[in-house]
A and B are shown apart, each in its own frame.
Chain A
Amino acid sequence: MRKGSVLSAFFGVIRRDALSLWRRRADALNPIWFAAIVITLFPLALGPEAAKLARIAGGVIWVIVLLASLLSLDALFRADLEEGSLDVMLTSAQPLAVLAGAKILLHWIATGLPLLAITPLAATALGLSPRALPVLLTSLALGTPIISVIGACAAALTAGLRRAGMLLSLIVLPLVVPVLIFGAGAVEASLTGASTTQPLLLLAAGLAAAVSLGPLVCAAALRLGNH
């Protein structure tokens, strides 16, 4: 008898979660609807004055993406804990960090990637200068996976709690402030003509650290929560 390989376990988790996400695609799209609605609220609240909107567009999009990513975090490990499939993962003797990594990757694919996809539309709606759009997209592409990683660690810690939504935000938001500062800062820099290399490189460094350490932290938090 052979144990399932680590790779097959990784893709097994991705396939199962992707399937159940697909069967609940209306729920899965909630963060995207949220982001789309909030973006349309800004011109309504601030008035259609293009120059005013354009100045704040980068920061607004960053904040909205951050909050929208939080929406789907609460459910990330809840089902695994309630239905007992976390026990299945733990008793399979597979490295839990790899399985947690699969869940984080899928969270980013299901939330971060669609948010990234609607960003050009949102940027146009808010009148962001077209020359800042590549920087905005790059900063989001680097920053949203970090949000998924930090969020997953917090979700793992709070998975056993009944109403963890608020606590989750309280844990995650302070931790992702640097991501927000560098992300929005890069967009600001591109508008004023300053160099965007430094904030983007810092985001990339943050991403490297999050991807390499995050799954380990997440696995430790899951074990802690399950005990």
Chain B
Amino acid sequence: MSDSPDDSVPLLAARGLAVVRQGEPIFGPLDLELRAGEVLLVEGGNGSGKTTLLRVLAGLLAPSHGQILRAGIESEDLLAPVGFLSHATGLRADLSPLEQLDFFACLYGVRPGIAAMAALHSVGLAGFEHMPVRRLSAGQRKRCALAALLHTANHLWLLDEPYANLDRDGQILVDRLLEGHIARGGAALITSHGLIEPQLSRVRRMRLELADA
């Protein structure tokens, strides 16, 4: 990775971040920092605001309080594309995984050295490249979305429950993708409701409590 970002500046930082919806606090205020080569695991029960936090960090939702710094610059808009994976995988039902990856690549740019076909094979979708997403299972859709992450060029990954819907092999696959990503100098923030333990060499944890608990 030639133009790897400066390690001394966090790729993503938040100060006093909080979301309040209709007078009800959803989460926060919280501080966090994510540097290149790091995985930050956000744990919390159902409804603890993990998804909302991720959407705020991805710039999809405006925070009620606090500031977000991207690569050290305070900015509400994204400065660089962010690999974002949520429960809605962003896949169009009528398109095949290969066409999906092509679409993601057009928007995000391609990571040099990994072709769409190779990315699909490495997530275990060999033989499904041309099948409409409609006919894939939930786990296969998740794998397709993971292949898109692998195929595109993003330093920062924000993954909401990346282990959900995946079988045992799939969970190992997520760990392998994350290891590869941080080895290339990327960073990832992942959420989990705590049932699955990520098997990663370097992972920091953050517990997100229910705001009113």
What range describes how many residues of A lie at the interface?
Answer: 20 to 34
* B84: interface (CB < 8 Å): yes
* A4: interface (CB < 8 Å): yes
- The stretch among B8-16, B58-66, B117-125 that forms the contact with chain A is B58-66
* B115: interface (CB < 8 Å): no
| Distance, CA A69 to CA B94, complexed state (A) | 23
* B91: interface (CB < 8 Å): yes
Knowing A87-B88, A91-B78, the reply to whether A16 touches B103 (Cβ < 8 A) is yes
Could you tell me which residues of chain B, from 67 to 123, have a CB within 8 Å of some CB in chain A?
77-84, 86-95, 99, 102-112
Knowing A12-B102, A12-B107, the reply to whether A91 touches B59 (Cβ < 8 A) is yes
Q: Of all chain A residues, which has the CB nearest B93?
A: A83
| Distance, CA A93 to CA B77, complexed state (A) | 8
Q: Of all chain B residues, which has the CB nearest A9?
A: B107
What range describes how many residues of B lie at the interface?
Answer: 35 or more
Main secondary structure of the interface of A (DSSP, over half): helix
Let me know if A2 and B86 touch, CB within 8 A: no
* A131: interface (CB < 8 Å): no
Could you tell me which residues of chain B, from 176 to 203, have a CB within 8 Å of some CB in chain A?
none
| Distance, CA A132 to CA B153, complexed state (A) | 54
* A residues near B107, Cβ cutoff 8 Å: 4, 9, 12-13, 88-89, 92, 94
* B213: interface (CB < 8 Å): no
* A residues near B3, Cβ cutoff 8 Å: 1
Minimum Cβ distance to chain A for residue B209 (Å)? 24
Choice from B81, B87, B105, B111 contacting A91 with Cβ under 8 Å:
B81
| Distance, CA A13 to CA B104, complexed state (A) | 9
Minimum Cβ distance to chain A for residue B182 (Å)? 15
| Distance, CA A90 to CA B60, complexed state (A) | 7
Minimum Cβ distance to chain A for residue B60 (Å)? 6
Which of A9, A16, A88 counts the most chain B CB atoms within 10 A? A88
- Can you give 6 contacting A-B residue pairs, CB < 8 Å? A4-B110, A16-B102, A19-B95, A20-B92, A83-B89, A88-B104
A positions within 8 Å CB-CB of B: 1-5, 8-9, 11-13, 15-16, 19-20, 23-24, 79, 82-85, 87-94, 226-227
Q: Which 5 A-B pairs have the closest CB atoms?
A: A12-B106, A84-B88, A1-B153, A92-B107, A4-B109
